[in-house]
Amino acid sequence: MEFWRRAANPWGQDVLIGVSWDLMWAAVVGAVIFLAGHAIWLRTRPAESHGTPAAAPPGIPERIERHSLAARIFHWTMSASMLVLLVTAFAPVMGWQFPWVTIHWIAGVVLIATVVYHVIHAIGWQDFWSMFQLGVGEGIATLRHVLSPKAPAPPKAGKYPFDHRMYHHVIVVVSLAAIVTGALMMVRIDTPFWTRNPYLFSDSVWGAMYVVHGLAGVSLILLVAAHIYFALRPEKHWMTWSMIRGWIDREHYLEHFDPAKWDVTEAGGGVSGAGGAGALADASPSARRDD
């Protein structure tokens, strides 16, 4: 299997022109193997019990806001642009010919805009640093429990479990690599904003840029496939629904999260809307907005 492609430029120099398409197929096969392997592993693993949820501490509402409307709009806009980018990047390689270049760079601009918005929104209105807590002890406990069901269950997490944080860090690095190289590569095409300039960098620099962009692209095949797979798993539906409707119920909150680490009471910044009984009493999701 080759890792990159090379060709001679007009001056006879051997330069990089991108990653090998073998890597694309390797990523597809790797994604299938991982998803099938995880599904089989989970079926053969002894069923786990989270135990009986503890009695709800005072002040926890029936519905707890996990994702604000702004966060949900960002997530689904970014998801759509990412899927369009992957399809327009790799479908032509598989033989599906269409005007993919224009669609690809427009989707890239949308992705850049959503990421810029997310950074500003996270720093200005959310608990930005909570996603960047390493939690080494939590990670070790999680790994031990994954390797052996007999190992003690890891401690309940705050709003962002360890695996979510690690996935976030990886997707940030890979996405930024694709965004930076993709934005620079846009100077090689004509857009309504400028005329193409393929001579901004040397052929060797362009080649290295193509390779980094391609590696980020094939990595995103694996990352996006894994994200969709876990979102569709039945035991994760409650989490997926929170990205659609914005909230989780109190039972799932107490089952999976530590109230001391993720305080959703009025004292912790939430606005309780469940003061009475019935549907009207818990109609307003409430919790501190740090998503």
Q: Is residue 278 a part of any domain in this protein? A: no
Range of the domain at 200: 19-44+63-265
Which of 145-154, 195-204, 216-225: highest mean pLDDT?
A: 216-225
The answer to whether position 51 is within a domain reads: no
In this predicted structure, which of 8-12, 97-101, 115-119, 125-129 has the lowest mean pLDDT?
125-129
pLDDT tens digits along 123-142: 887 776 777 777 788 889 88
The reply to whether 227 falls in a domain is: yes
- Is 274 within the bounds of a domain? no
| Residue 13 one-letter amino acid | Q
What is the three-class DSSP state of 36?
helix
For residues 144-165, average pLDDT: 88
Given a cut of 70, whether residue 275 has pLDDT beyond it is no
Q: How many domains does the chain have?
A: 1
Buried b (16+ CB within 10 A) or exposed e, 78-109: bbebbebbbbbbbeeeeeeeeebeeebbebbe
pTM of the model: 0.81
Tell me if 209 is assigned to some domain.
Answer: yes
Determine the residue type at 67.
H
User: Confidence class of residue 81 from pLDDT cuts 50, 70 and 90?
Assistant: very high
pLDDT for residue 194: 86
The reply to whether 49 falls in a domain is no
Q: Is there a domain that residue 125 lies in?
A: yes
pLDDT of residue 37: 95
Which residue is associated with the tokens 């019935």? 278
Q: How confident is the model at residue 285 (pLDDT cuts 50, 70, 90)?
A: very low
Position 1 in a domain = no
24, 218 in Cβ contact below 8 A? yes
Compare 51 and 24 and report the one with higher pLDDT: 24
CATH code of the domain covering residue 116: 1.20.950.20
- Residue 132: its pLDDT value, please? 73
